[in-house]
Chain A
């Protein structure tokens, strides 16, 4: 559905997109991630034919975004960041206008505008001025507008920015629902949202793709796949050294009870100070040494109070690959 080949966009002072290549298949919901200024919005603007690329090629639904831009725009619904709308129009007026502009007319226009109003829950405010609507409603007007002509592809630039948690949930459900009929490319900073809605994640940094996989697989590509939390009373033995020997463990860090040190007025949790120590273990990708740790504790007669694995999240992946110091 989208094919981007060696796309570069240079401005006078900086390069926003640098030799970017990726593809999006029909029916995918792709989450487009990256730090601020990574080139997400620029890429989306190029794909929606708003900006020309400096070099490189991009096609949407088989049409070139530069030379066949009208065809591309017919097949695409785009919701820009911050959803700019004509504030002095009423919701229905605006949707009718946009639908007509996108080539709908007559009864087709009426049914489509009605359908998107229904889908985005805009019935209550259909006769209100857009300028009087709350952020959440404006976002929905933008979304309704983007899909009114049943485009093959929806490009949504930060569709949930500035919404409250309930509205975020509504928009997320709506996007999931839309994903059954449309291909969607959306950018966001809310990572759990990506994990819940997207079938694939594209992470870009400094104008280049740095990762592309399903949200479930991505953490597996991390240098450390997760953390194990161990709380044990090893008596006089050096538990940290023993734990490090377990297969699959990369390193062991003792957890200092920071909370009680900073605020001595709060009594330490019962048990602490009676020989129990906490450790944070980093494990190798794909390894799960929890059973080995249990066996170790049993063999040495340690008292084991907690043993838990925390899988690496998308957030860990994001931080690791976009944080410049990590490389």
Chain B
């Protein structure tokens, strides 16, 4: 278990060794800051039927910030090890394969959380300045960040799998971005198109992140998305683990 934490420590720090982390953080803060600005503007002057908090998490800009950062976070995880050949010293150290896979996943997830953590303060700032309620209830607040975590786990796992398949970071980024966007939009298209059967529409409701966010940001903590994201994460991590072992022996 100690090895896992040593690995996790390096995985997390490795973002900050390169300029990558700072570039992502900067653009991310600009984007979410602009999103907050739009939110405040939206509520100026006239009464609205949403809370600012809901508006923030169900906005196009939110999804852009969420979806675009994932491939950048995950692209180098495995590809770089294969490219540099550092997989060899890594796997000849006394560590188990699953420790490496788990450390890479949790390292990326922690960085993802670091990225989103500042947004939690936005609503406090909003409330203290305007004196208006931003979040509505504690449940909505917790729910939004819970679904953010769950979706993060799932989409990061897609990125992990894309990264373990190639030693080229660019390819890993493109493959994961395309897969993520495909998955993201297929559900939206199915719910928006008029001539889709009700069965397919119900099925898609299980997998459509936009719908999940709508529920959770209102404080409706449905367990189905929890099961869906957790099990998909486990499945993708298991496949990643298998591919990793295979690729290691082919190296």
Contacts and interface: CB of A to CB of B under 8 A. Distances in A.
A98 interface: yes
B94 A84 contact: no
A165 B55 CA distance: 68
Contacts of A87: 84
A52 interface: yes
Given A80-B85, A101-B6, 9 more contacts: A50-B88, A73-B92, A73-B93, A76-B92, A78-B88, A84-B84, A86-B84, A101-B3, A102-B94
Looking at chain B's contact residues, the main secondary structure is helix
The 4 closest A-B pairs by CB, nearest first: A84-B85, A88-B17, A73-B94, A80-B88
Given A50-B88, A50-B91, A51-B249, A70 B7 contact: no
A48 interface: yes
Nearest to A84: B85
Interface residues of B, number: 24
Interface residues of A, number: 27
Contacts of B88: 45, 50, 78, 80, 84
A100 to B, nearest CB: 4
Contact of A52 (B2, B14, B86, B249): B249
Contacts of A61: none
Interface string B64-103: 0000000000000000000011111101111110000000
A50 B94 contact: no
Contacts of B84: 84-87
Interface of A: 45, 48-52, 70, 73-74, 76, 78, 80, 82, 84-89, 97-98, 100-103, 105, 145
Nearest to A86: B86
Contacts of A98: 89, 93
B223 interface: no
Contact of A97 (B6, B18, B94): B6
Interface of B: 2-3, 6-7, 9-10, 14, 17-18, 84-89, 91-96, 248-249, 251
A89 B17 contact: yes
Among B7, B86, B251, chain A packs the most CB atoms within 10 A around the CB of: B86
B94 A78 contact: no
A101 B2 CA distance: 8
A86 B94 contact: no
A86 B13 CA distance: 12
A196 to B, nearest CB: 27
Contacts of B93: 73, 98, 101-102
